[in-house]
Amino acid sequence: REELEKMVVTDHLTKLYSRSYLDDKIHQSMNEDHEGTFMMIDIDNFKLINDTFGHQVGDDVIIQVANLINANIRGSDIGARWGGEELAIYLPGVSLTAGLVIAERLVKRVSESTEPQVTISCGVSHWNRGRHDSYPTLFKRADKALYIAKQSGKNKVIVQEHEDRSK
């Protein structure tokens, strides 16, 4: 039974958390915490890496990035595989300012210590209780930020701030 739970919770290739576990944790955090930061991470030019070096190297690059994520976030933070070469991190109770520190640290570490060298782009969003953010908008904003990071040159962090319509 413990083995079965591990399978559902963990992504096989990267040993990061699975997307369904990440979803659960975000929902839980949005009920219990006051704020949190979410980031979507995508390996830049991944198709080119696969085409140039082959799928085995492609997989190894995903694992390298996953290991760097695990080594650079706290045990209470949730690093997950979103799918393919897309990864995600959820930081329960973490402010946008601190979230950006972490995102910048990761982008830098990945560009410094992967072989073959790869870079990542990172889209960041943040919620807090006062604004009544929902999970779909948290996700949409991070995804949009990631898209902008890609469009504007990659290897960077972009944050998509909440549009507060009540103001």
For ligand C2E, the binding residues (CB under 6 A) are 71-75, 77, 91, 94, 98, 101-102, 105
Nearer to ligand C2E, 94 or 149 (CB): 94
Given the residues 32, 85, 112, 161, select the one marked as catalytic: 85
Q: Write down the least CB distance from residue 109 to ligand C2E, Å.
A: 9
Nearest to 72 by CA among 113, 32, 42: 113
Contact 159, 124 (CB under 8 A): yes
Q: Which residue is nearest to ligand C2E (CB)?
A: 98
C-beta of 49 vs 64, nearer to ligand C2E: 64
Q: Which is nearer to ligand C2E, 62 or 103 (CB)?
A: 103
Q: Based on CB atoms, which residue is closest to ligand C2E, 41 or 102? A: 102
The tokens for 93 are 């109770």
Distance of CA 47 to the CA centre of its chain: 19
Residue 159: strand, helix, or coil: strand
DSSP 9: H
Find the shortest distance in angstroms from Cβ 45 to ligand C2E.
26
Given a contact cutoff of 8 angstroms between Cβ atoms, the answer to whether 110 and 29 are in contact is: no
Give residue 160's Cα distance to chain centre: 14
CB of 160 vs ligand C2E, minimal distance in Å: 20
85 is catalytic: yes
Residues identified as active-site: 85
